Amino acid sequence: MHSDPKLVERLEALLDGRGLEQRTMFGGICFFLNGNMCVGVWHNDLIARIGVDAAEEFVGDEHAKVMDLTGKPMRGWMQIEPPGIESERSINDWIDLAVDFVSTLPKKQKKKRPKKKKKKKK
C-alpha cells in the first residue's frame, strides 16, 4: 500500500467541489488542478505543492519537511506527517495553501498520445 486509504477518503471529501482530478502517481494518489499536481497521499503523509516561497516558511516544522520521495528533494513541495494533519483545520490549511498556489500556475494542456500502429497479419 502506497496511500493510506483513510487519508485518501479525507482528501476526497475535503476536495469535493473544488474541481480537482484524482490520479495515481508515484505509487500514491494525487489530485490535480488545471492539469497541475496539487496535493496527494504518499503512504501516511500528505504531500502539498505550495511553492518555494511558502515552503521556506515551514523548513524546520516538527511535522513537515521538503518532499523527497526519490532521494531528490522537490522544491516547493511539502510532505506532512500524520500528526501535522490530525485536525480538520490543519489539513485544510495545507490544502488551501496548495490550491491557492497551484491556481496561479498556467493550465496544462493534455498531451496527445501517439496512436499505436496496428500489426500487419502475414
Domains, in order of start, for the chain? 5-102 (3.30.1460.30)
pLDDT digits (tens, 9 = 90+) for 7-20: 999 999 999 988 99
Average model confidence (pLDDT) across the chain: 89
Helix crossing, 5-15 with 88-102: angle to 10°? 60
Number of neighbouring beta carbons within 10 Å of residue 90: 15
**Can you tell me the distance from the alpha carbon of 42 to that of 3, in angstroms, rounded to the nearest whole number?**
5
pLDDT digits (tens, 9 = 90+) for 23-79: 988 678 999 999 999 999 999 999 999 999 999 998 888 999 999 878 888 999 999
Distances (CA, A) of 27 to 42, 50, 88, 112: 8, 21, 25, 23
Ramachandran sector of residue 47 (left: φ over 0; alpha: ψ -120 to 50; beta: rest)? beta
Kindly report the pTM of this predicted structure.
0.84
Q: Are 43 and 66 within 8 A, CB to CB?
A: no
